[in-house]
Every structure is written in structure tokens, then in C-alpha cells.
Amino acid sequence: MSATIDTILKYFDDFTPHQVEQFRQLEELYKEWNSKINVISRKDIDSLYEKHVLHCLAIAAIFEFQPGMEVLDIGAGGGFPTIPLAIFFPETKFHAVDSINKKLTVIKEVAAGAGIHNITTQHIRTEEIKNRQFDVAVSRAVAPLGELIKWSKHLVKKGKRQPTEDGGRVPGGLICLKGGDLAQEIHESGKNPKIWEISSFFEEPFFETKYVLQTFY
């Protein structure tokens, strides 16, 4: 049985009608563009809302991105987590970077089709970006934690951010979506990241071995 937009609406109920429509449009847009440029596994396209959109929104379940904040998506692939987060936080600026240009084509076309205007893209390796500073970096299933830190540490503003007045966590540093046994990867990174189990937010079995990690440089 394929997942539907209701998969995300059962966890998040404060979207505007415009945001709901944007999320709804993702299914048709990704099916169209994935048939041209494969960025999502063929077997996963019917689970778009669970395995891709909701997975990325685990970040939004923890962190409150602020208006005007600039976010770097390292190895953005087909737009995850950039696309879901950009819909969720329309006043935050997302910069999607990937070394494979055709993947950025998918991001640009999906964003245009869904009327998402707070995303920019750049065809470049993260470590080659010069003269830019971001408030936070995000990443999903791109590389080991140590590599992500090495690639992006010159691009992210230093220092930990304080929670917002309503108790939400303002993101900073590097926020990653990871899965599986992370012990060796974390050890090799030399860092001690904060770890959240996504299964504590979302009940679907898919999330039982999925995590959100936050580390500072």
C-alpha cells in the first residue's frame, strides 16, 4: 500500500492550505521527474511521503528554523531534505549543493512546479564553495559524519544557538539524517553528536533504525 500525504498530516496539523497543496503536488512532480532522472529508488517512489518527505520532516519535529536563516544542504540529491524543509519553513533560505547537475535539475523543476521560492542550487562539491557562510548545514545519507564535518566546517557559522522563546530548538552546526549502527562512524568523527531516535516521533516501522544527529564544529 502506497503512502499518501496523510502520512505527514497525521503528525503536522498547522500547515496553511498553500503548504498542504505544495506537499500534495510533490507526488506527481517526483513521479514525473524520477521517470526522466532517477533520484529515488523505483521501489520507493510509492512511499515518497513516508520514506522521503516525512523522514526529512523529522528535522522539523526537533528544530525551529528561523526567518532569514540560511541553510546549506550538503549533497542535496533529488531535494531531500531541502524540498520538504523549504515547504515547512517558507521564510528560511535553503541552498542545495550537489556535484551531479542533473539532480539539481530535479530540485529546480520540482520547486518550480510546487511554487517553492526559497531554494537556490549550486553545481559544486561542498568543499569547493568559497566565501559563503551559512547558519546551519543539513544532510541525508551522503557520507560518514567525519567527512561531512570536513567538507562543511569552513561554511557554517560557529557557536551554539539558543532555543526560541517558545522552547523550540534553533538549529546550528551540522544536522544529519542517519540510519543503522552509527557507533564506528561517530567514533571516527571525533565528535559526540546529540542523537534523536526518529521512532520516538513517528510510529512507522521504517523509522526504527533512523536517527537525527546534531554536531557542532
pLDDT tens, 111-169?
999 999 999 999 999 999 999 999 999 999 889 999 999 999 999 998 766 665 666 68
pLDDT at residue number 58 = 98
Residue with the larger pLDDT of the pair 41 and 27: 27
Class of domain 6-215: alpha beta
> Across residues 3-15, what is the average pLDDT?
92
75 is in an annotated binding site: yes
**Range of weakest confidence among 52-56, 156-160, 171-175, 188-192:** 156-160
Q: Calculate the average pLDDT of the chain.
A: 93
Task: Using pLDDT thresholds of 50, 70 and 90, give the confidence band for residue 57.
Answer: very high
**Are the C-beta atoms of 88 and 57 separated by less than 8 Å?**
yes
Q: Around Cβ 166, how many Cβ atoms within 10 Å?
A: 6
The answer on pLDDT for 46 being more than 70 is yes
- Tens-digit pLDDT profile for residues 170-185: 789 999 999 999 999 9
pLDDT at residue number 114 = 98
Task: Using pLDDT thresholds of 50, 70 and 90, give the confidence band for residue 60.
Answer: very high
The answer on pLDDT for 1 being more than 50 is no
What whole-number distance in Å separates Cα of residue 73 and Cα of residue 148?
11
pLDDT at residue number 153 = 93
Which is nearest to 85 in space by CA: 125, 26, 152? 26
169 is in an annotated binding site: no
pLDDT at residue number 158 = 84
Indicate the residue type of 6. D
The answer on pLDDT for 42 being more than 90 is no
161 is in an annotated binding site: no
